[in-house]
């Protein structure tokens, strides 16, 4: 228990530049509080005290704004930053050293039984507002962009953005582990390409109109 607590505190100190002290983490970090209460709820869930586990989970959501089903499996060193609106489903698995920002959903896509929520591998970063829906795996050190909707597996060391989520590469350069504000924008790139094509078409139309005007003048001269 103390090993997990120490790892959770260290994760916040390593990844949040705003933190000033351990006391601040213990008293004023809802993501930290949510994880500790979840560990209690998960203990009772595994002992099949399902109602008690759900009550603890409900209290957890009331005080932190973070809803974690007591059945979810969460590793050590996980950092939920801010956390308001985070939802983690019953069969979700979040492995060690994952970072989750506010508004993230690790949800299912239907009423099927069994494993129906995603597995998040070690070191992944899930940016604000991302929705990861279904029973698949998000690979190690993956980066999910803000607002992305991910509906299929993500390989290790990949960056996913957009709706629906798609794997992108930004100029072949590695994206920093917390640079979720610098992800490429495939929609903007498509618009830029379209604008370039329109400019070429306008230039060609101007050339054709010039040729037509020249032919008209020649006919008048003749």
Residues 7-61 have pLDDT tens digits of 889 999 999 888 999 999 999 999 999 999 999 999 999 999 999 999 999 999 9
Note whether 125 and 215 are same-domain residues.
Answer: no
Domain membership of residue 152 as a residue range: 2-183
- What is the domain-level CATH number for residue 67? 2.160.10.10
Note whether 189 and 83 are same-domain residues.
Answer: no
Note whether 113 and 166 are same-domain residues.
Answer: yes
**Distance from chain centroid for Cα 194:** 28
Note whether 146 and 191 are same-domain residues.
Answer: no
Question: Does residue 214 surpass a pLDDT of 50?
Answer: yes
Note whether 86 and 31 are same-domain residues.
Answer: yes
Quote the DSSP letter at residue 41. Answer: H
Note whether 177 and 193 are same-domain residues.
Answer: no
- Contact of 175 with 182, CB cutoff 8 Å: yes
Note whether 175 and 191 are same-domain residues.
Answer: no
CA distance 193 to 199: 10
- The structure tokens 């370039």 sit at 196
Number of domains in the chain: 2
pLDDT class of 179 with cuts at 50, 70, 90? low
**pTM for the whole structure:** 0.73
Note whether 68 and 15 are same-domain residues.
Answer: yes
Note whether 107 and 200 are same-domain residues.
Answer: no
From the list 74, 76, 78, 99, the residue with the least C-alpha distance to 89 is: 74
CA trace torsion 107, 113, 114, 115 (10° rounding): -20
Note whether 69 and 105 are same-domain residues.
Answer: yes
Note whether 110 and 217 are same-domain residues.
Answer: no
The pLDDT tens digits for 83-112 are 899 999 999 999 999 999 999 999 988 777
Note whether 214 and 130 are same-domain residues.
Answer: no
């Amino acid at each position: 228990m103390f090993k997990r607590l120490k790892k959770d505190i260290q994760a916040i100190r390593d990844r949040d530049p705003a933190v000033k002290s351990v006391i601040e983490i213990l008293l004023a970090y809802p993501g930290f509080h949510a994880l500790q209460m979840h560990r209690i709820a998960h203990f009772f869930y595994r002992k099949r005290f399902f109602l008690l586990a759900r009550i603890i989970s409900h209290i957890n959501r009331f005080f932190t704004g973070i809803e974690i089903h007591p059945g979810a499996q969460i590793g050590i060193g996980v950092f939920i930053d801010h956390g308001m609106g985070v939802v983690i489903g019953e069969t979700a698995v979040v492995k060690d050293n994952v970072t989750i920002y506010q508004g993230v959903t690790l949800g299912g896509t239907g009423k099927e039984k069994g494993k129906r929520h995603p597995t998040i591998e070690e070191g992944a970063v899930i940016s604000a507002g991302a929705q990861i829906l279904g029973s698949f795996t998000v690979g190690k050190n993956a980066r999910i962009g803000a607002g992305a909707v991910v509906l299929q597996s993500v390989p290790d060391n990949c960056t996913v953005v957009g709706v629906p989520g798609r794997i992108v590469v930004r100029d072949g350069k590695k994206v920093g582990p917390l640079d979720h504000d610098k992800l490429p924008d495939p929609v903007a790139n498509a618009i830029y390409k379209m604008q370039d094509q329109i400019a070429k078409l306008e230039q060609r139309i101007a050339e054709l109109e010039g040729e037509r005007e020249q032919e008209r003048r020649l006919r008048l001269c003749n």
